[in-house]
Amino acid sequence: MGDGPKEDLRGGLEAHLARLWRYALSLSGARDVAEDLVQATCLRAIERADQFQPGTRLDRWLFAILRSIWLNESRARRVRAGQGVIDAGEALSVDGAHEIETNISAAQVLRAIGALPSAQRETVLLVYVEGYSYREAAELLGAPIGTVMSRLAAARATLTRTHEAKDA
Amino acid sequence: MATSDDDRKLTAYLDGELDEAERAALDARLEADPALRARLDALRAAADRTRAAFAALLETAPLADMRTRLDAALAASSARAAPPWRRGVAAVAAAVAIVAFAAGLGAGRWSVGSDDRLADRDDWRQEVVEYMALYTPESFGEAASPWLGDELATLSRRLDAPLDLDRLKVDDLSPRRAELLQYDGAPLGQIGYLDGATPVAFCILRDGEADAPLASSSRDGFAVASWAQGGRGYMLIGKIPVERLMALARSLKEKTG
């Protein structure tokens, strides 16, 4: 086996960098951590290049790797005492230099999404933004389909309530 | 606050995840009910706004930085034939990146723990709903478990709650068995009753939930009562009339609170 699979992987990784970063940001709430998480995902994907089945969806495979790295690292972090809690809403919306200046409503929606419980936020990203079906999301999240539906319904209801309150 | 059954159905409808029969039934209700149609429109808009906002976010991805780091990683992996201590600069850069990542993890820069619990508050109850469907009257045995006293003592200890037999007798019901399970690392107690021939479960999760008043909902044909107190989430569930379930729940809440 030559460098074939690796070259394919290079093209594939490049193509998915931005979406991986967006997923990582929705998980971690911090831009620099998201970048590092993407990098770790790329490294692991390269290491495991021969485990990827050609013809299957590369993006789904990469998302699963990213999630696995995130879970292991955040679990390890939970074990260490005294971690601060930041306002995920603030972190996910925008930080100064990256202000989506012309898109105030996008910033508001991102803030509302950042304020959702993390499991809902992740499920929303996977299903509404990345187009996972309930079944695919349930498989990635290791949760029953009913849970996926509950999270999405709760998120829709909260976002609707927030939006209506804003307009009131 | 548990999500209403209607919101859940409307969500599945909007996401194309209802089967034909369910969709037809909901279409009929939507035709007849303007309030329900309005709710559908409101919920639909939430996902549309979400997609638009995340599309805008995608534009701000730091692509140049990430491409550079990716190239370094790929270069490093091509040099993998050499033992680690003889890899080139690119490999070292990649290794440093991982160390930086780990260091970043320790720097306390993201939320963890507390907001996960908000999702768990409903998630664990949903899981109970899912597995309740598996129970039959025979699941709970011919008579109360002979070890019920010990089982309850274990639950009381792990849940840090007074769960003796007297407290758990409500109306004409008496516990048949008690089990200690876990959910996401937190102790979950399940006390099983039989109301006539119908299994009813009283579940308690010690997960530090914020207090919540007694609320009733219906899921998958089960009547559900839920509340939270003293850092524990509670749930009573069974396929019995909702008035009866709520009466039992009120008694249990009072006696175990």
Phi, psi (deg, nearest 5) at residue A132 = -65, 140
Whole-number Å distance between alpha carbons of A141 and A23: 13
CA distance A11 to chain B (A): 11
Considering chain B, what is the average pLDDT of its residues? Answer: 80
Which of A22, A151, A153 lies at the smallest CB-CB distance from B119?
Answer: A151
| Residues in chain A where the model's pLDDT stays below 70 | 1-6, 75-103, 167-168
Is the confidence at residue B115, as pLDDT, over 60?
no
The tens digit of pLDDT for each residue in B178-211 reads: 888 877 778 889 999 988 888 899 999 988 887 8
CA distance B42 to chain A (A): 6
Determine contact: A159 vs chain B, CB below 8 A: yes
The tens digit of pLDDT for each residue in B203-227 reads: 999 888 878 888 888 777 788 898 8
Q: Which long-range contacts (CB under 8 A, 24 or more apart) does B157-164 make?
A: B158/B187, B158/B189, B158/B206, B159/B187, B159/B189, B159/B204, B159/B206, B159/B232, B160/B206, B161/B189, B161/B204, B161/B206, B161/B230, B161/B232, B161/B256, B162/B256, B163/B189, B163/B191, B163/B204, B163/B256
Q: What is the CATH number of domain B139-257?
A: 3.30.200.100
Is the confidence at residue B3, as pLDDT, over 80?
no
DSSP 8-state code for residue A127: I
Determine contact: B100 vs chain A, CB below 8 A: yes
Amino acid B104: pLDDT:
44
Amino acid B160: pLDDT:
87
Confidence (pTM):
0.59
CB contact under 8 A, B110 and A88: yes
Between these two residues, A14 and B138, which has the higher pLDDT value? A14
Give the 3-state secondary structure of residue B204. strand
CA distance B149 to chain A (A): 33
The tens digit of pLDDT for each residue in B48-107 reads: 999 999 999 999 999 999 999 888 877 876 655 444 443 444 444 444 444 444 444 444
Whole-number Å distance between alpha carbons of A11 and A19: 14
The tens digit of pLDDT for each residue in B39-61 reads: 999 999 999 999 999 999 999 99
Amino acid A92: pLDDT:
56
Amino acid B133: pLDDT:
75
Which of B43, B53, B115 lies at the smallest CB-CB distance from A117?
Answer: B115
Amino acid A60: pLDDT:
96
For residue B110, what pLDDT band results from cuts at 50, 70 and 90? very low
Residues 9-48 of A with CB under 8 A from B: 10, 13-14, 17-19, 21-22, 25, 28-33, 35-40, 42-43, 46-47
Specify the residue for token string 């970043």: B104
**What is the β-pairing status of strands B186-195 and B177-183?**
antiparallel
Amino acid B53: pLDDT:
92
Amino acid B73: pLDDT:
77
Determine contact: A118 vs chain B, CB below 8 A: yes
% residues pLDDT > 70 (chain B): 80
CB contact under 8 A, A153 and B123: no
